[in-house]
Structure 1
Amino acid sequence: MTTHPAPAATEIAESTSDASLARTRRRSAEIEEQIAADPGRFRVLTGDRPTGNLHLGHYFGSLLNRVRLQRAGVETFVLIADYQVITDRDGVGPIRDRVLSLLADYLAVGIDPDAATIFTHSAVPALNQLMLPFLSLVTDAELRRNPTVKSELDATGERPMSGLMLTYPVHQSADILFCKANLVPVGKDQLPHLEQARVVARRFDERYGRPEGTDAPVFPQPEALLSDAASVLGTDGQKMSKSRGNTIELGMDADTTARVLKRAVTDADRHITYDPAARPEVSNLVLLTALASGRDPEAVAAEIGDGGGAALKRAATEAVNEMLAPIRARRAELAADPGYLLRVLRDGNARANAIAEATLGEVREAMHMAY
């Protein structure tokens, strides 16, 4: 029986340590310079679970960066992770509608289906088949130490989790490696998952070797591109989350947005300042207004001055609705044409399948299973 050395597990556990995080930030800065000089050397994998409509947290946190990378010339793969919906749920819900809604959001914000490959888990069998050899490369203990798995276990009071939840990090490794992505935009909380993919890639090479006649490993070592995007809180001052009902969705109409922001939490001090540590709720609305209008938060706060929470909410509503108006108009057109959305998805699935089958072929050769 083959055992894995402890250092690999330690690498995953320490991937968010201060020293490691500093190294990753420095490397991310280098990668940005390389993208500017030669974007064609990179292939990005990113995506979302279709559990509901995308909101401003997604927009500022990841969507804008995806569009930026795509427009810079980086080859982009965008996963609609439909199988991952059932990792922690008893059913998928109205999954078809949610997948098409997510796709409409992607296209409305500027992801170009001619330049990006947009695909779903369930339509790419070869991607999911990689889970089998990948699972042979990790241990139960390593999976249980993964921060996402561990937090899920803690949150459920040690209630037995599904096998899919336990193997969630390996499924994400398959997502990244099937298309040989060498760059993954992440926040620091996702670094352990990326490190798991790096460990899987390295262990596959160490255990099974390389396809006959080649010197390169089957899988590259994917690198992190750390995001410096501002984190926008929900309207209640907590983390923006679909499950909390504190979001402003990209597809909301202007009147609904105004009602949601009118209920946003502020404080009793009428003088508006930007002080995230001392006044997180007020500062969040200031930041949201600044991001939506392309201004500096301090300047926004100074302009509102003694206008109080009501003036701040009006400013936020105006800025958000103005920013989202063209996105909402485009999204409405897309949602009204599900046939077009399905064609985009089928084209993306076809491209993803071709790449996944080629990668699986290399895996079979390396494992001496090409019969």
Structure 2
Amino acid sequence: MPVARVHKVMKVETSPAPTATAPGHRRALPPARRSARRGRITATLAVLTTLLMLLHGWIPNRIANFGSFVQTFLPWTGVAVVLLSAAALLRRSRVALISVLLPALTWAALHGGTFLDRGAGGAADLTVVTHNVDDVNPDPAGTARALAASGAQLIALEELTDPAVREYEQTLAGTHPYHVVEGTVGLWSTYPLRDTAPVPIMPWTRALRATADTPAGPLTVYVAHLPSVRVRLGSGFTTERRNAAAGRLAGALAGAPAGRTLLVGDFNGTTDDRALAPVTGRFRSAHDEAGAGFGFTWPERFPVARIDQILVRDLTPVSAWTLPATASDHLPVAASLRF
């Protein structure tokens, strides 16, 4: 009887052949890698913004005075922080969101205290106002009345013209009987003024010195208007004339008598601008010590920088603020001081 043979069939399992990727298509990245890739540009910009804020003092002025430009508008790096935060949220990237914390915390450390009221409190002995009144001001008399209403004992004016000077003299005569005008700058006072003289910082007079005899003793006052700066294609931030005038002003201040001193006026620059350090480094800013907010003064409709300054030596700032707009393109600034 034939024997049936049983054959065992072996099944060999093989892995399926890889599916060919269609031309023009990439394999999907894991979610974590996709998030990192989406936030790469935002994270890079966040780090660069942080470095800009921390190392602005190292940015050279050799090329287009870029260092001074950055320092003039340094508070506006906060706008970059807001835009970077929005970009990180839109990209839904954890890497970008974490990276944006760097410039956000840096900005808060540098400027957060600006929004606190830094006033010393207590009584003040003197209030001073300084204002670039604009050489095309259509209402000098109205501007003078607004400044007198502040109650300031000292009112410094810059960018005066001959016709306007007569209106300021007539309007302020009743409240500020003592005054001196040198070139395009002037000082009106409720206290007697003496030892008045121009300070040569430019070919024409844009600075003066005077001594005010206050009830607490003599006070040396300097009023200055440094040259304007411009941003131009090809030449950048043009500060050369301003810096040269600041150097001459610094030389005059070096020979000033010791004691209580005020330096006020339109500097066409902020106290952060290193190019003005020969002048600002000798004094303390009333607004930085006793103001609230950034106190931007120019242009008056949408101020972007505080270029009008009240600087003090051997005086204590009690409070500092900007006054309401006049017919000028600058806002007036005021400070109350204690001897």
Query: Is this a same-fold pair by TM over 0.5?
Result: no
Output the TM-score relative to the length of structure 1: 0.30
Larger RCO, structure (CA 8 Å, separation 6 or more): 1
Q: Which protein shows a greater Rg?
A: 2
Give the number of the structure whose residues are more often strand, by fraction.
2
Give the number of the structure whose residues are more often helix, by fraction.
1
